[in-house]
DNA sequence: GACGGCTCCAAA
DNA sequence: AACTTTTGGAGCCGTC
């Protein structure tokens, strides 16, 4: 395997061939900025793994120049994993003092003064010398010395492939019909108002609400004002959440809920969102791979890609002659728990296609809804309500699965670290958490101290309990996407990304591929193959299945 | 006027 | 229907 490192030099860019341990292999090739993309394209024919500090920066400019790469090592994402992982805890990388590689992608995005996407003259300090080379060697040593190099190696490969996918999706964009989005907005809110005025249908709803509450100046966006007005009307509630208000019977409730719904649509995905996020018929979200502690992606920049409401997905329309293939992994997290724990009975319960129906058939609970709510309780750590009551009933039938999450919870309560299937470890609780635990166990601790400490310990336990499941599910999704990216590239016949089937959207356990209508069958097969391979990569011979729900649609609103 | 904390809601 | 996890963003409101 050949690695080629990429880093900035004064007045140009260096390409340096490296051996698997990071040793230099020959002299660096220095190229001018304008020759960078062609030089990468030429070397790509040897299928190297590109080593760089930050995929989002280097790969964005390559894509603009229509240069695609197969594989890379994203040093910053890899560093974050290796720094924390229990599998590399004794490495030089993990035991070194903090350094410039430690900042998260999100933190860097939130410091706009540091650099802009294409401003390669003003690189962060860590990029100006052979720092990239030294960091790569340090990482290779950490991997080689890990308990299970293949395991952490797969995670780093998947994480880096995810960064390539994110960059390509940000480049391609999600097809978006601004005219249809506008129609959706007009049908709910009325015509687009001038400047900051309230749309007519929102205004009409507000006037109905004010009349019903006899509060002519009420601003329902202010929770405290709203609570007071509701109290005057005899409605005693402690919060203004929609689900609380739904329980009330009063003529003001209907317009109030309607107002909240319309106001949400306007502020989150209204005309302003359309103006700032959609250009040339494409929504260009900003994905942040590794942006969530569990390894899930985050999104930033106002687009809210990972919270795209179902209400406006009808504006996501395939190009003429093209289709969307939408696939989501059904019941992913409970299936991940079954596989993680190697609980054969739970794996078996999921083998027929509906895990929850399988749990009912296994006799643990009576109905499918109970199975679902009990599993959610197991994965999230529910203590009260129906979920908290039902969850223990799973223990008899599925002792290994439940023991796995219970042990993760106990470890978190003790302040210990837990680790996902491929080796991403949870953060340690902060100094305040430890201080509170120490206060409570000390001789001077009051009953209030002890109670607060117990609450915080249990809260951290719920986090670690969920971490192993959510984090391992995120790893499965990364493997799925990495496999799918390769499968789609094989279908492309050498055509450019946007001229052949390509990924346009990803949301935790769901992918959307935009492709010519004639290719939908091949694309669906590639998606299914990629999912099977992801299961084998992560869980080997265990007969666990990850069934997909696949829809072929013209617009995203029609999927599900 | 900037900033942080709070409430509420969208997604998985 | 929530309960119980992880997020990002808008708007409000008190503080500086």
The CATH number linked to A323 is 3.30.70.370
Q: Output the pLDDT for position A194.
A: 84
Condensed to tens digits (0 to 9), the pLDDT of residues A464-506 reads: 999 999 999 999 999 999 999 999 999 999 999 999 999 999 9
- Strand, helix or coil at A489? helix
Q: Output the pLDDT for position A104.
A: 57
Please answer whether residues A289 and A414 qualify as being in contact, where contact means their C-beta atoms are separated by less than 8 angstroms.
Answer: no
Nearest to A374 by CA among A360, A362, A366, A386: A386
Residue A424 pLDDT > 90? yes
Does strand B come within 7 Å of the CB of A241?
A: yes
The Cβ of residue A248 has, within 10 Å, a number of other Cβ atoms equal to 16
Question: CA–C1' distance A301–B2 (Å)?
Answer: 20
Rounded CA separation A125/A100 (Å): 8
- Nearest nucleotide to A510 (CA to C1') is B12
Domain count, chain A: 4
Question: CA–C1' distance A552–B5 (Å)?
Answer: 45
Domain shared by A436 and A317, yes or no: no
Condensed to tens digits (0 to 9), the pLDDT of residues A368-378 reads: 999 999 999 99
Question: CA–C1' distance A378–C4 (Å)?
Answer: 9
Closest residue (CA) to C1' of nucleotide B7 is A223
Q: Phi and psi dihedrals of A438, rounded to 5?
A: -65, -45
Q: Whole-number mean pLDDT of chain A? A: 91
Position A280 in a domain:
no
Domain shared by A211 and A148, yes or no: no
Q: Out of A150, A172, A194, pick the residue that ends a domain.
A: A172
Position A279 in a domain:
no
Q: What is the pTM of this model?
A: 0.93
Could you tell me the pLDDT band of residue A301, with boundaries at 50, 70 and 90? Answer: confident
Characterize the bridge pairing of strands A278-279 and A12-18: unpaired
Position A110 in a domain:
yes
Q: Output the pLDDT for position A60.
A: 95
Domain shared by A265 and A297, yes or no: no
Positions of strand C less than 7 angstroms from a protein CB: 1-13
Could you tell me the pLDDT band of residue A124, with boundaries at 50, 70 and 90? Answer: very low
Domain shared by A35 and A49, yes or no: yes
Does strand B come within 7 Å of the CB of A188?
A: no
Domain shared by A244 and A386, yes or no: no
Q: Output the pLDDT for position A119.
A: 38
Residue A515 pLDDT > 70? yes
Q: Which domain holds residue A67?
A: 3-172
Q: Output the pLDDT for position A195.
A: 75
Domain shared by A366 and A383, yes or no: yes
Q: Output the pLDDT for position A30.
A: 95
Q: Output the pLDDT for position A431.
A: 85
Position A99 in a domain:
yes
Q: Out of A245, A274, A303, pick the residue that ends a domain.
A: A274
Q: Output the pLDDT for position A59.
A: 97
Burial class (CB in 10 A: 0-12, 13-18, 19+), A137: middle
Q: Output the pLDDT for position A535.
A: 96
Q: Out of A467, A484, A513, pick the residue that ends a domain.
A: A467
Positions of strand B less than 7 angstroms from a protein CB: 7-12
Domain shared by A535 and A423, yes or no: no
Domain shared by A503 and A413, yes or no: no
Closest residue (CA) to C1' of nucleotide C10 is A267
Does strand C come within 7 Å of the CB of A16?
A: no
Could you tell me the pLDDT band of residue A130, with boundaries at 50, 70 and 90? Answer: low
- Tell me which of A127 and A288 has the higher pLDDT: A288
Does strand C come within 7 Å of the CB of A459?
A: yes
Domain shared by A343 and A251, yes or no: no
Does strand B come within 7 Å of the CB of A414?
A: no
Does strand C come within 7 Å of the CB of A15?
A: no
Question: CA–C1' distance A7–B6 (Å)?
Answer: 44
Does strand B come within 7 Å of the CB of A89?
A: no
Position A236 in a domain:
yes
Domain shared by A110 and A29, yes or no: yes
Question: CA–C1' distance A221–B1 (Å)?
Answer: 22
Position A20 in a domain:
yes
Closest residue (CA) to C1' of nucleotide C3 is A385
- In this prediction, residues A526-534 reach a mean pLDDT of 97
Does strand B come within 7 Å of the CB of A427?
A: no
Domain shared by A209 and A261, yes or no: yes
Reported as type and span, the H/E element at residue A31 is strand A29-31
Domain shared by A438 and A496, yes or no: no
Condensed to tens digits (0 to 9), the pLDDT of residues A48-99 reads: 999 999 999 999 999 999 999 999 999 999 999 999 999 999 999 999 988 8
Chain A residues 350 to 409 whose Cβ lies within 7 Å of strand C are 373, 376-377, 380-388
Condensed to tens digits (0 to 9), the pLDDT of residues A432-454 reads: 888 888 888 777 778 878 888 88
- Tell me which of A302 and A20 has the higher pLDDT: A20
- Nearest nucleotide to A473 (CA to C1') is B12
């Amino acid at each position: 395997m050949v690695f080629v490192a990429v880093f900035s030099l004064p007045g140009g860019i260096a390409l340096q061939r490296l051996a698997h341990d990071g040793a230099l292999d020959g002299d660096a090739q220095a190229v001018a900025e304008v020759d960078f993309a062609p030089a990468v394209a030429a070397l790509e024919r040897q299928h190297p793994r590109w080593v760089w500090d930050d995929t989002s920066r280097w790969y964005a400019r390559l894509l603009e120049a229509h240069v695609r790469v197969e594989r890379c090592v994203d040093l910053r994402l890899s560093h974050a994993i290796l720094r924390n992982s229990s599998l590399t805890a004794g490495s030089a990388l993990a035991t070194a003092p903090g350094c410039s590689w430690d900042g998260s992608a999100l933190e860097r995005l939130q410091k706009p003064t540091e650099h802009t996407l294409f401003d390669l003259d003003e690189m962060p300090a860590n990029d100006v010398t052979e720092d990239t080379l030294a960091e790569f060697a340090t990482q290779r040593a950490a991997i080689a010395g890990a308990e299970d190099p293949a395991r952490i190696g797969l995670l780093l490969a998947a994480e880096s492939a995810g960064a390539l996918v994110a960059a390509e999706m940000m480049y391609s964009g999600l097809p978006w019909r601004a005219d249809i989005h506008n129609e959706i907005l007009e049908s709910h809110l009325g015509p687009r108002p001038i400047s900051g005025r309230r749309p007519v249908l929102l205004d009409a709803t507000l006037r109905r609400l004010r009349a019903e509450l006899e509060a002519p100046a009420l601003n329902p966006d202010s929770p405290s004002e709203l609570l007071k007005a509701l109290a005057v009307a005899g409605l005693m509630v402690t919060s203004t959440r929609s689900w609380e208000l739904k329980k009330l019977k009063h003529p003001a409730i209907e317009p109030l809920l309607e107002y909240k719904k319309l106001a949400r649509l306007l502020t989150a995905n209204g005309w302003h969102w359309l103006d700032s996020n959609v250009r040339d018929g494409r929504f260009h979200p900003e994905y942040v791979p590794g942006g969530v502690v569990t390894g899930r992606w985050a999104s930033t920049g106002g687009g809210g890609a990972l919270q795209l409401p179902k209400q406006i997905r009808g504006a996501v329309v395939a190009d003429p002659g093209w289709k969307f293939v939408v696939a989501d992994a059904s019941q992913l997290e409970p299936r991940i728990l079954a596989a993680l724990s190697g609980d054969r009975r739970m794996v078996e319960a999921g083998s027929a296609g509906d895990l929850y129906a399988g749990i009912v058939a296994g006799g643990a609970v009576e109905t499918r809804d109970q199975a679902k709510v009990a599993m959610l309780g197991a994965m999230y750590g529910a203590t009260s309500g129906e979920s908290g009551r039902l969850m223990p009933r799973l223990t008899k039938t599925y002792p290994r699965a439940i023991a796995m999450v219970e042990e993760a919870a106990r470890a978190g309560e003790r302040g210990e670290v837990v680790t996902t299937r491929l080796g991403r470890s949870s953060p340690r609780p902060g100094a305040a958490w430890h201080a509170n635990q120490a206060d409570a166990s000390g001789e001077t601790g009051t009953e209030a101290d002890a109670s607060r400490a117990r609450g915080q310990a249990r809260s951290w336990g719920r986090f670690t309990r969920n971490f192993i499941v959510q984090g391992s599910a995120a790893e499965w999704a990364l493997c799925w996407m990495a496999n799918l990216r390769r499968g789609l590239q094989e279908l492309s016949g050498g055509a450019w990304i946007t001229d052949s089937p390509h990924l346009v959207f990803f949301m935790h356990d769901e992918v959307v591929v935009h492709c010519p209508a004639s290719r939908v069958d091949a694309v669906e097969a590639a998606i299914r193959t990629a999912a099977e391979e992801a299961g084998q990569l992560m869980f080997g011979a265990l007969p666990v299945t990850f069934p997909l729900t696949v829809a072929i649609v013209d617009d995203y609103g029609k999927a599900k």
